[in-house]
Chain A
Amino acid sequence: MDLVKRVILPLLALQAVSIAAMASLNSLSSTSEGIFAIFLSTDLISFAIIAHIYRVSKADETPSRYFLIPALAAILILLFSSLTIS
C-alpha cells in the first residue's frame, strides 16, 4: 500500500471521526474544553501531515521523516490523552 493510502486516508477518517466527536461534546463543561482542544489539535496536525505529503510528493521528493514521525506520534499521544480525560 502506498504512502497516500497508508497515511492520508486514515487521517481523513480520523478527522471525520473527531469532528463528529467534537459536535457531540457538552460545550459548557471544562472537561469538554480539553477534549475539544485535543480533537481540534488532532485535526490540525492531520491537516499539516496531509498538506506536507501532498506538497512534497508533488515535487517528487520524499516526505520528511523528521516531520512525519513526531506529528504522527503527537496524534497518537493526543488520542490516548483524550481517552484518559474522558
Chain B
Amino acid sequence: MSGAGGEGFLSKLVNWVDSRLGLSRPLLRPVPAFAINPLYWLGALTVVAFLIQGITGVIMMLYYVPSPAQAYSSTQYVFQSVYYGRFLETIHLYTAYAMIMLAFMHLMRGYFVSVHKKPREVMWVTGMLMGFVTLGFGFTGYLLPWTVISKSATDVGTGMIAVMPQPVQGFVNFLVVGSGGDAATLLRFYDLHVVVLPAVLLVLLTVKMYMLETHGIAEPETGKALSDKERKTVPIFPDVTLYLLELAAVFGAGMLLISALFPLNLPAAYSAQAAGQIVQQPDWYFLWMYQILKIQAFEGTFAIGSTHIQYLAVALGLVTLLFVALVLLPLLDRSKARRVRARPRFVTLGTIFVAELIVLSVWGYLTPGIQIPNYQAALVLGGTALLVGAASLLLFRAFGKTETGGPASKPSTKGLSDPKRAVFNKASAVIILCALGALAIGSTFQALLSTVLAGATMSNLVFLGLSLTGLVAVCLATMFFVYRTELRRSQIKRRIRFFEWRAG
C-alpha cells in the first residue's frame, strides 16, 4: 500500500524534526490505542479552537480600540479595510461558538462515561472551571464590537447583577462593571477577554494536562476486557501528534468553510435609540438561561422579614445550584460503576439535562422577548423531563444493568428490601405514568383546541402530531407496565419475548 519513495521522504522529514526537537522523548506518556478516536479528543479540539481564537484575536487586537466611541468604528475598519478582515472576524466568532459547543460535548461525554470518578475528581473540577472560563470568553467578547445587538445582549447579562445578593453583587460588579459607565465596562470586558481569561485558562489547562499525564486517559467501560490491540500504546510523536493534526486540520477546514458560507455582517452601532428598537436577547449559548428567567413565576418580589427579594434572584440561584452540582458531581455520584448501562439515575438525569438545554435554547430563539406563562413552562419543561426520563428509564429496564453489574431484572439488594423495593418501583411507575398520561392528554386537548380555533397551521399540526405521539407512547408504556405486573402475578401465562428484559 505504501511506497518507499514518498514515505521515505516523509520519514526523513519526521526524523529530522524529531532529531532537532526531541519530540519522541517521553515528555508525554504514550496514548493507548483505544483513544485513537475523535471522541477522546474533544477537549484537545477545544484547545485547538482556543488557539485559533488566540491567533485571530491577536490580529484583531492590533486594530481594536476599547472605548465606546471607537470600538465600533475600529471593528468596522477591520471589516472594510484590513486584508481578509471580515473573514477574520467571522472565523473568530464561529470558532468561539465551536469552542463552547466542543467544551459542552466534552463535558457531557465525560459525564456519561464517568470520567469524574476516582482518581480523576480534581480533573473534573478543573475541566468545569475551564468550561466557565470558556463561557466567560463568550460573554466578554460579545460586547467588544459595540453593536446594538452585542450591547443589548450584554445588558441582559449585566442586568442580572442587580438581583444578586449584596456580597456577590459587589464582587461581580468589581469584576465585570468596573467603576461604572459604558467606558469602564467596555474596558473591563476587554481586559478580561484578552488578558485575565486567557491567563486563567492557560493555568487551568496546565493543571489539567499535568493531571492527565498523572492518571492517563480513562479506559472505556464496555463490560468486556480490552483487547491487546486496544491496549497497545501509541507514541505521542509522531503518531498521536499526527492524529491530532489530522483532526485539527479537518476541524479548521470545517470552520473556514462555515465562515465562507455564512460571512458575518456587522450589525448597526449601539445607540440608545437603536437599542430601543430591538428585542434584547443574549447569544445562543445563554439562551437557555434567559428562557428560564423569562418564566412568569420569576417576576416580582417576595419578602422575608423586612428584606425584599426578587424572584429573579431565586431563578439565578437555581441556575447557580445547577452549576455547583455539576462541579461537585464527583461527590454526588460516588458509586464505583462507570458503565453507562450501570448508572440509570445519573445517565437519565444527564439526558434530561441535555434535552432541557436544547428545548430551552430553541424555545428561547423562537420566543424573543416574550414572557413565558407558568402553565407553558410547566408543560414544556415538565413534559420534556417526563418524556425523556421515562424513555431513558424504559431503555434501562430493557437493556440496562444494576449498579452492582447484575441484570436489571435482579435489582440490587442494597438499600430497600426486595418487597419494599417492588412496592416502591410500582408506585413510582404508576405516578410517572399518571403524570405522563395527564400531560399527554392535556397537550393533545390543547393542540386540538388550537387547531380548531386558530386553524390547521403548520405549528398547530406539529404540536398536535407530537401530542398524539406522546399519547400513543404513554398508552404503550401503560400496556407494558400492566403486562409486567400481571406477569408477576402469574395472571399471564404466555410470555412475550419482545417485552422481556434482555438479561432476564
Chain A residues within 8 Å of B, Cβ to Cβ? 2-5, 8-9, 27-28, 30, 32-34, 36-38, 40-42, 44-45, 47-48, 50-55, 57-59, 62-63, 71, 74, 78
Contact = CB atoms under 8 A, between A and B. Distances in A.
Interface in B83-125: 83-84, 86-87
> DSSP class of A's interface residues: helix, strand, loop or mixed?
helix
A62 to B, nearest CB: 6
9 contacts: A3-B1, A8-B6, A37-B256, A41-B254, A41-B256, A48-B250, A54-B7, A58-B11, A71-B250
B203 to A, nearest CB: 30
A5 B3 contact: yes
A54 to B, nearest CB: 5
B55 interface: no
Nearest to A59: B239
A28 B252 CA distance: 22
A24 to B, nearest CB: 13
A1 to B, nearest CB: 8
Contacts of B253: 40-42, 44-45, 48, 74
B246 A38 contact: no
Contacts of A48: 245-247, 249-250, 253
Contacts of B252: 41, 44
A57 B7 contact: yes
Given A45-B249, A47-B249, A55-B243, A2 B1 contact: yes
B331 interface: no
A4 B243 CA distance: 18
B225 to A, nearest CB: 22
Given A48-B247, A51-B243, 13 more contacts: A2-B6, A3-B1, A9-B6, A27-B83, A33-B260, A36-B84, A36-B260, A47-B249, A48-B253, A54-B242, A55-B246, A74-B253, A78-B257
B2 interface: yes
Contacts of B84: 27, 32-33, 36
B259 to A, nearest CB: 6
Contacts of A47: 245, 249
